[in-house]
Homo-oligomer: A and B are copies of this chain.
Amino acid sequence: MDVKEVKVMKKILSANDKIASELRVELDKKGILFMNLMSSPGSGKTTLMELTAKNLGEKMCVIEGDIQTTLDADRIAKAGIQAYQINTGPFGGDCHLESSWIKSAIEEIDLEKVEFIFVENIGNLVCPAEFDVGAHINAVVLSVTEGEDKPLKYPLAFQTSSVCIISKIDLLPYLDIKIEDIRKNIQKVNPKMTIIELSAKNGDGLDGWIEFLKK
């Protein structure tokens, strides 16, 4: 990375952080909890949102970040809740979301009944962790099929999050992976992490997730 790039990146990051902080305070005042979900592609973020919608209904809305397609926002809208799609494809296919885009998205949403805003960040376990989007809680979703070593290999996403949802636990019997090893590796990089294990397929662990949100 040459010196010029570092300078420009610093400027972008500090502008991003300023908007993120303002957004956090503003939503606090409105009594709205803002959670930012980060993960690899296909870990089950959208499915988790569909299931959460069944419990929270119009109290929640979802901002979807994707490079291309409105597939995820369409799924959320079908669940009967407000969904807003950000596509980074037309702007160079950006690999993460930034706070100014979230701010613009929130301005388009009817917040009257909303108590929870979820952002589904771009499916990427690396870059989104470098950008504060203004959330009160960062959460990382890790599917058991991704392997027990991922927290060690992608530590920043786990270090900048306070809750980790281990998803697809119904597949454990068919994998050579022990959930204890996943848990151990999460705790190695972030000893304070709240860990929630769940299966969207059979509903295991879903009550714990909803309870966590309502607290």
Where the two chains meet, the residues of A that have a C-beta atom closer than 8 Å to any C-beta of B are 1-2, 4-5, 8-9, 12, 40-42, 66-69, 71, 91-95, 122-127, 130, 143, 145-147, 149-150, 152-156, 168, 170-171, 174-176, 201
Contact = CB atoms under 8 A, between A and B. Distances in A.
15 contacts: A1-B91, A40-B146, A41-B146, A42-B143, A42-B147, A68-B152, A68-B153, A68-B155, A71-B149, A95-B95, A95-B124, A124-B124, A124-B126, A124-B127, A145-B168
A2 B41 CA distance: 27
B42 A1 contact: no
A4 B146 CA distance: 37
A41 B42 contact: no
Given A40-B123, A42-B146, A153 B95 contact: no
A135 B145 CA distance: 28
Contacts of A12: 2, 5
A2 B15 CA distance: 12
Nearest to A5: B8
Contacts of A168: 145
Contacts of A66: 153
A35 B153 CA distance: 22
Contact of A174 (B1, B41, B67, B171): B171
Contacts of A150: 41-42
Contacts of A5: 5, 8-9, 12
A108 to B, nearest CB: 22
Contact of A69 (B95, B125, B149, B174): B149
Contacts of A170: 174
Contacts of A155: 67-68
Given A41-B146, A143-B145, A174-B174, A153 B123 contact: yes
B126 A95 contact: yes
B93 A156 contact: yes
A122 B42 CA distance: 17
A140 to B, nearest CB: 11
